[in-house]
Structures are given as structure tokens and as C-alpha cells.
Amino acid sequence: MANLAASLQHHFADFKQQKESVVLGMWSFLVQEVMFFGGLFVTYVVYRSQYPDAFHEGAMQLSSVLGGFNTIVLICSSLTMAMAVHAASKGNRGAIAFWLVLTIVFGSIFLGVKVVEYKEKFDHGFIPGIADHGLRVNHETHQPRPTGFALYFGLYFAMTGLHAIHMLIGIPILAIIAINGLRGKYGPEYYTPVEMTGLYWHFVDIVWIFLFPLLYLIGAH
């Protein structure tokens, strides 16, 4: 077991103060994350209320199957993350790494599906500024797309893109924590980094819990 004393930073009086400070710091960071995504959510609310039919038409271009599958995948990853934290609280080196690797696998599956989805959007020309020929005209009916259709896709990419970036940042962090876990850095007295990583990962899951119905399911009927 690695030197526990080395895990207590010198400016803290004891582990309790360190843990409490880190927890509060992490939650303060998550509060700002809520507001960060919040700017996109308010943009969504404004434009969907203005252009409900265009948003509906936009959502119909998405696959609720893929979106639903990805939602389940992320929920699985939250479970495995919670199990990793639990393993860390028991100091079970192998289990920590196991559950974290599973979390990475689920996260990677999610991102893989997103690549498939984004490619599909590219083929249909639904990406503003990059491949946007499908945003102005419906290539099947040759009718113009309603106003707000482009805004829907702008929001789709901004929201899922920002979410995906958060996952891309999270996965290497999971890997580092997994390696540290294997090395025996975490145990019942100190497993704060695993917990904090868990908080971040769960937050990213929560964002998707809202993105799925708001972006995908509004085209369901």
C-alpha cells in the first residue's frame, strides 16, 4: 500500500479537511458546468418555442434507436463508475481497475455511436458551415426546410458536441485513475480522486439524460 501520508497535502490540517475542501471544490466546479451547458439549454428553449415544427422535423432526422441505445450505455457507465468508487472505498485494487476499464469501454461505445451519427449527418448535409446542403432544402421532396431547421441542427451539434468533448476529457482521466488504483494508491482512508472522477462522470451522464428527450424524442411522433 503506497504511503498514505503522501496523499495528505501539506497545507491541510488533516484528511478530513482535505476531503471536505476537495468535495466542495468539485461541487463548485459542477455548479459552473450546469451554467455552462445551461446557456445551450436556454438557447434550445427559446428557439424550440419559436419553431416547434422545424425542431420536430429536425428531430425526425435522428435515430431514437441509436439515441436510446446510447442512453442505456451511459447509464451502464454510471453504474460501473459507482462500482469503481465502491471498490476504491474497499481498497480492492483489481476491482477498481476492472470497473473503471468497463466505464471506459461504455464511454467509448457511446462515442463510437456518436461518430456513426455524425457521419450520417455529414452525408445528409445537416452540419452547419461544414456540410450544410441539406439544411436549406429537403432533397427528397425538394421543398425548402422550415426556418429553424438549421437552428435545430446547430443546437444538436453544439450540445452533443460539447457533451462529447466532456467525455473525451473524462476517458483519459478514468485511465489515469485506473492505473493509480492498480498501483494501490486508494483505500478506505483515501479514495477521494476516484470519488471526484465519479462526480464528473455522473454529471456528464445527467447532461445526456436531458439531451436525449430534448433532441431525439421530440421527433418520436
Q: Map the footprint of another protein across residues 132-151, applying CB under 8 A.
A: 132, 147-148, 150-151
Q: Which of 146, 131, 139 is nearest to 50 (CA)?
A: 146
**What is the smallest separation between the CB atom of 72 and another protein, expressed in angstroms?**
6
* One of 57, 86, 109, 175 touching another protein (CB under 8 A): 86
- Candidate list 62, 71, 174, 197; residue touching another protein; CB under 8 A: 71
CB of 139 to another protein, least distance (A): 19
The answer to whether the Cα torsion of 15, 21, 22, 23 is positive or negative is: positive
173 binds another protein (CB under 8 A): no
> Given the complex with another protein, which of 3 and 143 has the nearer CB atom?
3
Q: What are the C-alpha distances in Å from 24 to residues 11, 67, 85, 105, 186?
A: 16, 33, 18, 29, 20
> For residue 217, what is its C-alpha cell?
424524442
82 or 111: whose CB is closer to another protein?
82
C-alpha cell at 126: 445537416
Q: Can residue 81 be called a binding residue for another protein (CB under 8 A)? A: yes
- Cα 160–164–168 angle (5° rounding)? 175
Stretch that binds another protein, among 102-110, 117-125, 168-176, 200-208 (CB under 8 A): 200-208
Contact between 201 and 174 (Cβ < 8 Å): yes
Structure letter (DSSP) for residue 55: H
Beta-carbon count within 10 A of 62 CB: 23
Q: Is 112 in the site for another protein (CB under 8 A)?
A: no
Q: Which residues, numbered 7-66, are part of the site for another protein (CB under 8 A)?
A: 8-17, 19-25, 27-43, 45-47, 49-52, 54, 64
Cell numbers at 107, concatenated: 464511454
Count residues contacting another protein (CB under 8 A)? 88
